[in-house]
Amino acid sequence: MQDKLENYSLSLKHLAVVMDGNGRWAQERGLPRNLGHEQGVESLKNLVRNCTEMGIGFLTVFAFSSENWARSKSEINFLMTLFVRTINNELTKLDNQGVRLTFVGDKYGLPKSLINTMNVSETKTRSNKGLKLNICFNYGGKWDIVQGIKNLIKNDPDLLKNYNSLTEEIFSKHLSLSESPSPDLFIRTGGEKRLSNFLLWDLAYTELYFTDTFWPDFNENHLKMAVDFYYSRKRKFGGTSETNNLIETPEEKRQVVKCGN
């Protein structure tokens, strides 16, 4: 157990991001909100490239929440069109970079063109071995837990009679991110300090980083600052530094990461 915790604490394998502040970025410049979303796509493209270069294996981004349906019809339509256009435009490049794309969330009721784009890109990149990019779309952490319960009952009905055997590990296999390790670092841009129903189960022990920078301004330097914050943390997972035998200084952690542990 100790070995596992030690290794896990030393490298940044999984980054989760709430890309907030697109609208305010545009409004501050007297531009329509939609231009903020367009610019947000550029930040996301840069982030994907930077994660690949930094050797981060998993990136999960919140692109559209279950609650985003409360926006104006025209903004929702714009976002749907932007997602389809971006994924269609970027798919070949992402595939060449070895990115494996997965869409996470409730596909029920989404426009057919979007579902088709999601399916095509998931199939095309399925066997890629590079960055696993989870795009959360029509996603909510509470939705994920409920669909996990439904999934569990559907796939393992005997468990209902034998419910005492249910463990966190068994249950987590039925959640949307079961094929990704828990996020090590969560970043939220745009100044708000809340999770907004993102990955409620998965973020239990994640280091949380909030920045006032609006998402369209988020660049490689901002990412480095967040990563430095991560490496300055002591991850104890409920234990103590002594019991977890953690390597303490950021420099020591980086050395171990560079050695590939």
Note whether 189 binds ligand FPP by CB under 6 A.
no
Write down the least CB distance from residue 215 to ligand FPP, Å.
Answer: 6
Write down the least CB distance from residue 231 to ligand FPP, Å.
Answer: 26
Burial class (CB in 10 A: 0-12, 13-18, 19+), 68: middle
Q: Per CB under 6 A, which of residues 140..179 are in contact with ligand FPP?
A: none
Select the residue whose beta carbon is closest to ligand FPP and give its number. 23
Q: Per CB under 6 A, which of residues 198..217 are in contact with ligand FPP?
A: 215
Write down the least CB distance from residue 186 to ligand FPP, Å.
Answer: 15
Among candidate residues 20, 144, 184, 202, the one labeled active-site is 20
- How far CA 238 is from CA of 1, 156, 172, 235, 241, in Å, comes to 13, 31, 19, 9, 10
- How far CA 76 is from CA of 3, 72, 250, in Å, comes to 46, 6, 42
List the one residue from 12, 17, 41, 59 that touches ligand FPP (CB under 6 A).
41
Beta bridge partners of residue 137, listed in sequence order: 64
Note whether 45 binds ligand FPP by CB under 6 A.
no
List the one residue from 14, 20, 60, 101 that touches ligand FPP (CB under 6 A).
20
Binding mask 86-105 for ligand FPP (x = CB under 6 A): xx------------------
Active site residue 68: yes
Write down the least CB distance from residue 233 to ligand FPP, Å.
Answer: 26
CA separation for the pair 234, 237 (Å, rounded) = 9
Write down the least CB distance from residue 104 to ligand FPP, Å.
Answer: 11
CA–chain centroid gap for 32, Å, is 27
Note whether 51 binds ligand FPP by CB under 6 A.
no
Active site residue 20: yes
SS3 assignment for 147-161 = HHHHHHHHHCHHHHC
- Contact region for ligand FPP (CB under 6 A) — 19-27, 166-174, 176-184, 252-260? 19-27
Among candidate residues 50, 68, 197, 219, the one labeled active-site is 68
Number of residues that bind ligand FPP (CB under 6 A): 18
Kindly report the length of the chain: 261
Note whether 132 binds ligand FPP by CB under 6 A.
no
Note whether 135 binds ligand FPP by CB under 6 A.
yes
User: Which residues of this protein are in contact with ligand FPP, per CB under 6 A?
Assistant: 19-24, 37, 40-41, 44, 63, 68, 83, 86-87, 135, 190, 215
Catalytic residue numbers, as ranges: 20, 68
